[in-house]
Chains A and B, each alone.
Chain A
């Protein structure tokens, strides 16, 4: 069995880690690292019987993830200190939001940049306040900058000059050029307060954003992690509120994200064993390609199907941009390689 399938089976709880041969761990750890999920695996196997070397490595990973998460949440706190005094409210997105809400998927989860969502009419003021509080533009070329400002759903990335951490300020969750336009106002006005005091999307919107980020926006880079987020959050939301799937359907159709959300649910069933209700529990032949892309890693953590990877890259741009613009964009990018 391939390492990536073993890895997914371990997360899904379908496989007993004690039954792995010592050398099977090389591939599992390699895949987990390349998916940025080693600490996630370390958390989900925290009480399992493991070879001593693996147990020690996993303990290292859990300790380091705890530090990294505190550092990531501190960025949210510093953004709050910069924006709150003038009354700009923001909603945490993705990893920082999961950590602030103490969700299951946040255990060991790597958090990269801080992603926040503000109302579109606040974005210029937010930009100015962040610049005053020590964030600065990441130097980029004029093409990228203009591209962000005209077509994207966020400001060009900023980095804090003392802490060296990036912030992405969004005003909606998909690029302006995307054929789907989620209701950004509803996302912000229906946000909820997390246990750590920060605003986060309400459960249904959070699942919508997770699916959008993975399937409608991204090229499935980091897909196993995003799918793990989606799987564990929907599982826990349903456990807390049996009506969750219905609410999710409603919000998904409000944002135009029904097909992405349904596909994410089917993929979490296929990979992580999610139980789906009627109306969700279907088969779609196109899912095969997504599963193949998600499983395309070898025992050394390498992507095994570069053509498929490239196809998903083009697909993700196809979704985000009208075709003529896409051609122009890819041409400009590829010439620079």
Chain B
């Protein structure tokens, strides 16, 4: 699987409300509500404003949570990114 690069939603597009174990995300562009669980909110948070792929994301998440970057994490993150893209929350750069 190629490590595709994605862009996060522009600032202010998403309204993110933690609801216990779930996180509700309202997308002001699509008017859709998405209910997600960890690590989706963390991924969105780590993506920031610039474009980023799974490898870059793994590095950022590792830094944020003080973890080592394990090789097998990247395909999982790539999978999560493609799910976020299907929801329209991130976009192929």
A contacts, CB < 8 Å to B:
67, 70-71, 74, 77-78, 81, 85, 134, 162-163
Contacts and interface: CB of A to CB of B under 8 A. Distances in A.
Q: Which 8 pairs from chain A and chain B are nearest by CB?
A: A74-B30, A70-B31, A71-B31, A67-B31, A74-B29, A81-B91, A78-B88, A85-B92
Interface of B: 28-32, 85-88, 91-92
B70 to A, nearest CB: 30
A195 to B, nearest CB: 16
Given A74-B30, A77-B29, A134 B86 contact: yes
A71 B30 CA distance: 5
Contacts of A85: 92
Contacts of A77: 29-30, 88
A163 B30 CA distance: 10
A88 to B, nearest CB: 15
B31 A162 contact: no
B9 to A, nearest CB: 12
B73 to A, nearest CB: 26
A73 to B, nearest CB: 8
Contacts of B32: 71, 74, 163
Nearest to B27: A74
Contact of A162 (B85, B86, B92): B86
A78 B30 CA distance: 10
Given A67-B31, A163-B32, A74 B88 contact: yes
Nearest to B92: A85
Contact of B29 (A70, A134, A162, A163): A70
20 contacts: A67-B31, A70-B29, A70-B30, A71-B30, A71-B31, A74-B29, A74-B30, A74-B31, A74-B88, A77-B29, A77-B30, A78-B88, A81-B85, A81-B88, A81-B91, A85-B92, A134-B86, A162-B86, A162-B87, A163-B32
